[in-house]
Structure 1
Amino acid sequence: MQIIKKIKIRYFRSIYTVTIDDCSALNVISGKNDSGKSNVLRALNLFFNEETDWKSGLEFYHDFSVHRLDEVRKESIKGKQFISIEIEFLRPNSYAGSLPPTFSVTRNWLRDSTQYHESSNLEVLQKAGKLPSSLSTARRGLQTFLNKIYYEYVPAIKDRAYSQHLLSRLQKALLDSTLEDSTGIPKLAANLAKTIQKQVGELQDDFYLATGLSTAFEPPKQLSELFQAFHVATSNSTDQAIPLSSRGDGIQARYLSSVLNYIAEKSNKFFVWGFEEPENSLEFRYAEELANDFVVRYSKKSQIFVTTHSPAFVSSVDDNVSCFRAFQDEQKTILINLANPKNGDNHQNELNHELGVLKIQKQVHELYATQLVELRVVEEARAAAEQELKDSKKSLLLVEGKTDKKIIEIAWKKLRSSAIPFRIRVADPAADGSTGGTGMLAKTIEGVHPDDGRCCVALFDQDAEGIKGYEALSKNFTKMKGGNDIKVHVNKVSYGMLLPAPEFRKEYVLAKNHMIEFMFSDEVLQKKVNGIGLHFKKPIANIVINGVQVVDSSQYFLPSVNSDFSAFRKIHNGKEHFAENIVPTLGKSDFFEFENLFSILESIPNFTT
């Protein structure tokens, strides 16, 4: 987010006169110690909050430029003792009807005055015909706009007092929205914890991703405590609650940026941060993650100015990032935009030289960043290997073809809310359909070794080939008791079973023509997507029906369930399209007959446990 385009500061502390052009969403100011970096942030604090340091008002003779004071004394012109801050703003879209695309506001603090004097260039723009409205409308719009800007100055030393201040602001933001939802103090007190916990979920997630610590807000236990700052409890993997105030400085500082971003996201105001050394007390890895958050996330809702010595911030490269070198010339602070081609590489080299260790740190940072990427790749590979090892111990359902696998997976997802507790694999060593089928299914289940440590079930279609393969299983397989078509190997881990048939497909079983697609109703089998569906081949064969041999039964073929000959029909093509494009669109009720299949599998010892 960007509302400030340009800043001009005159006669403030070490700054004699400085112009900061081309401000971005994130503005990184770096340089050696005592170069005056922080004075830019303090000048903005003076402009927006009438404070210099945090909770410190302007002390003119302390904050007035020493060099300018010497000049004034030599000239003996007392009226020239003033501090001036001019900001050129970019108009937000919501003010297009009252303000021009860019406009500037100047605030001057005179030596003996208790109030600043404010002026703008609206009148000049009005004379040039550049206002979208009248001058009075523009002036009203300007004051409304300025009142909506909230500048948050975060000092380099983030002590307990500042943390409590920020948490109090967070509490106010939460209570403001809570009061909108609950009328009456008793009702508010009763529902406060639940409402606030729901509101801060995003904040908690952000902090957890950054630190691995979860947080919980403890609302006031008595109404007298209602407007005191929240206590924030953190917990680690041991689930032990530890107050945030008892955590290290780095963790506390990291939490502050999460809070600021959360407040900005929940507000309709324009937020500007002046954040001193956000990397303080952070380990290198956390500093890098924080810098990335500033670039990618936090600067989307707030315009940010940071002072830093961290290579993680200085090396940030993005279209929305500007980096400035701060240094002193004759004890006057100068700021140079390193991205400006007019400045060449000299100032970048000078910055490296001035900070000394920064150049080394930047090289380490780049090396670390590269290794971190490699580490993440290794971690992902390790996680994948662990998952593969875990999956390898799951029970295994072997099927004849890949459409069988696809349909069963979808059926489980439609009927059950839990993940599939077993793996489904096509009995095809080539993994391309060229070596699958009933024969390979039988060979695979015959070759299972008990040392594999998992239960395996081979599912045969009740067509001619499937029944033949099932019945031809070796004598090591014997039929289980219970009436289901299931055989168990002597090793007690291998099973063969026939695909159970719905009641309305009994004729298909008699015709030795039952396969997984016929688990669905004829209405489903006739569905099409993009005009494509299952294509059936009419039964043309020597078939004996009621003792009469029918040489060409196609003349008798009817597609209805009640046809004497529909049970002999074959699926000619369209299986893959049906499994991939039609089955996923079906409702839960269309998979009703698969419940019997899953119940049988669950009855097999150790298969789904």
Structure 2
Amino acid sequence: MRLLSGVRIENFRSIRKVDLLDLDEYSPIIGLNSSGKSNILRALNLFFNDQLDEEQTSISLGRDYPDFLRRTGKRKFVSVGVSFDLSGGFRPRGTDDFFTKYELEDTFVVQRTWTLDILTGGTQETVQFGKSWEVLVEAPSGDDRTAAFAFIRAIQFRYVPNHIRPADFIEKEIQPLRESMLTNLRRTTEFKTGGVAETMDALNRVAANMLKQTSQAVAAGAQGRGVSADVPADFAQLAFQIALQTVTSHGLQSTGLQGSGTQSFTLLHVLDLLDRTGRSRGFGWKKASIWAVEEPESFLHAGLRSRFATDLHAYACSQSRQVFATAHQDEFVRVANNAWLTSLVDDQTRINRASARDALIQSTKQRVTTFQHPLMEASDKPLVLVEGKLDAAHLRNAIRGAGMRPLWRMVALEEVDTLVKAGGDALLNYLKVNQLVLASRPPEGPILVLRDWEDAPKVEGLKQAVAAHEYSTVTACSEELCNPELGTTFRGIERFLSTDTVRAVIPTSALGRPAESEFPLSVTKSSLDGAKNKLLEHDVKSGTSSPYMRNLAGWLDQQVAAMLDGVPVDSFLF
């Protein structure tokens, strides 16, 4: 569920005005140090929690109003607005009448503004709301204002700064679990009818069950280290505070004694646990969670960074949660669809939205993230390299339609290097120039270059271009799998489309057929080239894929498996 579709911040620290619109469930924010990344998270913390940081600092126009505006003579104010996405069913408790009164459907905007109170020298707040940014009206006191704030209070906003000790954060935040543990304990037979010893055993069992999912998630990434609850062992300790212990091969240890990376990884999964138990305690008032995580890569080695980024993205895409994360590392951008790039121009924060791939290219040039050669993408698994973006899009649509779960990555040449044009010659030249990079891929990460069906005679010549990697190879789409109703003039991957799709997009006047029969259909090169984007759009929008295209995707999966058969088994053993 996407909770927020947009954020608008004005006159806050380094920010004059920024808009983050069309937000995803997971939004990485990358940029150089002091470019304003953390100010975005702090502004959101102010909006939801009325505080700026973990010290519960309140807003101060003397401190938080931008320095570059102080001598302009303009009215001093700080404003933070949020557009709530209602299309996924987000509806705070007790707002049914409010929804009806204002005919709310897809979007609801709330904007909070803090201005200088001339009489007291402090701040005074106004609240505006509306169906869009263009029609905001001031929320009067009474039921409407209460309903507007219900949207804010229905979300548990968790701000995790980068300079905290994760174990201290866990110790502080985990105490509310005590109430949930006791509630579950009261439901047990041992508590109702057993003695003291049986009740204490039941408490430990309840704690273990509550932490089971979290412990498994931590163990999957932190070298087998899980977590368990440190709860009382006897009745005299029953007035207790909860602590977490780390399960190691040598027994239980305090989480505070673990390395900072293990603590950070544990904290990630504890946040999920807090969300799950928090909503059950919220009696329906808390509907969702937003995490604002600063530089989660701190103290993580490369493998744990990758696992942390994957798990963080998975949590963001789970029900009733959204994540914002500032980062300097590629792993936290690669898992996203889009990213936000910050920069500082004349002491003011600028922010732009870009696809994850474009964001990484730009951030590498700015020395924000580290450079990784495009051919080293997903180096620990097979990589299928196709000629054009349309080829990749058709195959991905077919893989999705077939419900496949391939254990390989697929990219188009244009996707791995935006400066290279699509086409067979460009592909050949690219591979020739990058022989050393290709050779540096590990044995278990070979590349399969996929050519169009009509290029089968050129495959042998192209194999020399991938020979630098012993197990990489080249193949052409199997012509036997093409739609038999489409003739050889349908060059490229479009020959694997369904006849219905072709007829729905290409005018009948542009389709030829033999005099003596209805099939195979033919088409001119200009007609086919002009229709390629629409042919893809037709199948993607309709949620369908051609059976011939699905067969091609399955065949491709078999080709990758055959390629891996040549790789020594020892290459896959750690």
Instruction: Select between 139-148 and 362-371 the one with higher mean Cα deviation.
Output: 362-371
Q: CA deviation at 1:363?
A: 7.2
Q: Cα deviation per residue 1:260-300 (whole Å; 9 max; x = unaligned)? A: 11222344331000001112111111111111112224431
1:307 to 318, 326, 331: 326
Change (3 A) 1:257 1:172: farther
Select 1:286's aligned residue among 304, 317, 340. Answer: 304
The aligned amino acid for 2:77 is F
Provide closer, same or farther for how the CA distance between residues 94 and 303 of structure 1 changes in structure 2, counting only shifts above 3 A: closer
Q: Is 1:25–1:299's contact at 8 Å kept on the other side of the alignment?
A: yes
Matched, 1:107 2:123: no
Q: Distance in 2 between matches of 1:289 and 1:300?
A: 17
2:65 matches 1:64: yes
Question: Which structure would you say has the larger Rg?
Answer: 1
Deviation at 1:34, TM superposition (A): 1.1
Q: In the alignment, what sits opposite 1:54? A: 54
- Per-residue CA deviation, residues 445-488 of structure 1 (Å, 9 max, x unaligned), is xxxxxxxxxxxxxxxxxxxxxxxxxxxxxxxxxxxxxxxxxxxx
Q: What is the RMSD of the two structures over their aligned residues, measured on CA atoms?
A: 3.7
Mapped partners of 2:443, 2:242: distance in 1 = 37
Counterpart in 2 of 1:459? none
The question of whether the paired residues in 2 share the 8 Å contact of 1:216 and 1:233 is answered with yes
Q: 1:279 to 1:365 in 2, by over 3 A?
A: farther
Aligned to 1:87: 82
In structure 2, the residue matched to 1:116 is: 125
SS in 2 for 1:367: coil
Distance 2:216 2:112 in 1: 40
SS where residue 52 of structure 1 aligns? coil
- 1:83–1:109 CA contact under 8 A, matched in 2: yes
Give the one of 152, 155, 161 matched to 2:161.
Answer: 155
Contact 1:158 1:253 survives alignment (8 Å)? no
Contact 2:309-2:332 within 8 A present in 1 as well: yes
Letter of the structure 2 residue corresponding to residue 213 of structure 1: R
C-alpha separation between the residues in 1 aligned to 2:266 and 2:443? 24
Q: How many residues align?
A: 358
1:123 to partner: Cα distance: 11
| Aligned equivalents of 1:36, 1:94: Cα separation in 2 | 30
Contact map agreement 2:171 2:244 (CA 8 A) in 1: no
The residue that corresponds to 1:217 in the other structure is 229
SS at match of 1:242: strand
**CA 1:361–1:115: 2 relative to 1, 3 Å:** farther
Tell me which moved more, 157-166 or 7-16: 157-166
Whether the 8 Å contact between 1:51 and 1:58 is mirrored in structure 2 is yes
Contact kept, 8 Å, 2:112 with 2:125, in 1: the verdict is yes
> Scaled by the length of structure 2, what TM-score is found?
0.55
Q: Does 1:339 align with 2:355?
A: yes
Farther-moved stretch of structure 1 (291-300 vs 180-189):
180-189
CA distance in structure 2 between the aligned counterparts of 1:198 and 1:361, rounded to whole angstroms: 45
Partner SS, residue 168 of structure 1: coil
How far apart, in 2, do the equivalents of 1:58 and 1:190 lie? 44
- Whether the aligned pair in 2 keeps the contact of 1:178 and 1:196 (CA below 8 Å) is no
Query: How far apart are the structure 2 equivalents of 1:9 and 1:224?
Result: 52
Contact 1:13 1:63 (8 Å CA) reproduced: yes
| Kept after mapping to 2: 8 A contact 1:261/1:298 | no
SS in 1 for 2:269: helix
CA drift of 1:338 comes to 0.7
Change (3 A) 1:267 1:284: same
**Aligned CA distance change for structure 1 residues 62 and 335 (closer, same or farther; 3 Å):** same
What is the aligned counterpart of 2:175 among 152, 168, 179? 168
Aligned partners of 2:48 and 2:153 also within 8 Å: no
Measured after TM superposition, the shift of residue 202 of structure 1 is 1.1
Question: Which amino acid is 1:45 matched to?
Answer: N
Compared CA separation, residues 123 and 103, structure 1 to 2 (3 A)? closer
CA contact (8 A) 1:83 1:110 kept: yes
Cα distance 1:84–1:231, how it changes in 2: closer, same or farther (>3 A)? same
Rate the CA distance shift 1:295–1:250 in 2: closer, same or farther, 3 A.
same
Q: Is residue 2:275 matched to residue 1:264?
A: yes
Tell me which of 293, 314, 317 is aligned to 1:296: 314
Counterpart contact for 2:330–2:369, Cα < 8 Å = no
The answer to whether the 8 Å contact 1:164/1:229 transfers is no
Q: Which SS does the other structure have where 1:198 is aligned?
A: helix
Distance 1:64 1:356, change over 3 A: closer
Per the TM alignment, residue 248 of structure 1 is displaced from its structure 2 partner at its CA by: 0.1
Separation of aligned partners in 1, 2:132 and 2:372: 52
1:163-562 → structure 2 map (5 Å cutoff): 163-175=170-182, 177-178=184-185, 191-211=202-222, 212-221=224-233, 229-236=241-248, 238-268=249-279, 269=286, 270-301=288-319, 302-317=321-336, 321-339=337-355, 349-355=361-367, 358-360=370-372, 366-367=378-379
Q: Distance in 2 between matches of 1:330 and 1:84?
A: 21
- Name the residue aligned to 2:12: 12
Distance 1:64 1:127 in 2: 23
Cα distance, 1:120 vs. partner? Answer: 1.2
Q: Deviations over 1:371-393 (max 9, x none)?
A: 99898979xxxxxxxxxxxxxxx
- Deviation, 1:222, is 6.8
Q: Distance in 2 between matches of 1:376 and 1:239?
A: 35
Asked if 2 retains the 8 angstrom alpha-carbon contact of 1:170 and 1:259, the reply is: no
Partner in structure 2 of residue 381 of structure 1: none
Letter of the 1:118 partner, please give it. Answer: V
8 Å CA contact 2:184, 2:206 repeated in 1: no
Say if 2:157 and 2:289, in contact at 8 Å, map to a contact too.
yes
Q: 1:376 to 1:228 in 2, by over 3 A?
A: farther
CA distance in 2 between partners of 1:175 and 1:115 (Å): 42
The alpha-carbon distance between structure 1 residues 59 and 296, as it changes in their structure 2 partners (threshold 3 A), is closer
Residue identity in the other structure for 1:93: G
1:179/1:188 contact within 8 Å kept: no
Distance 1:209 1:190 in 2: 27
Structure 1: segments with no counterpart, 5+ residues: 129-134, 379-609
Query: What is the alpha-carbon distance in structure 1 between the residues aligned to residue 180 and residue 54 of structure 2?
Result: 21
Deviation, 1:139, is 5.8
- Between the aligned partners of 1:256 and 1:233, the Cα distance in structure 2 is 12
Displacement of 1:350:
3.5
In the other structure, the counterpart of 1:540 is none
Distance 1:253 1:202, change over 3 A: same
Taking the aligned partners of 1:109 and 1:51, their CA distance within structure 2 comes to: 13
- The superposition leaves residues 100-136 of structure 1 with CA deviations (integer Å, 9 ceiling, x where unpaired) of 12110111122344553322116999999xxxxxx99
Distance 1:124 1:348 in 2: 31
1:161 to 1:124, Cα distance in 2 relative to 1, 3 A: closer
Structure 2 counterpart SS, 1:119? strand
Whether the 8 Å CA contact 2:159–2:293 is kept in 1: the answer is yes
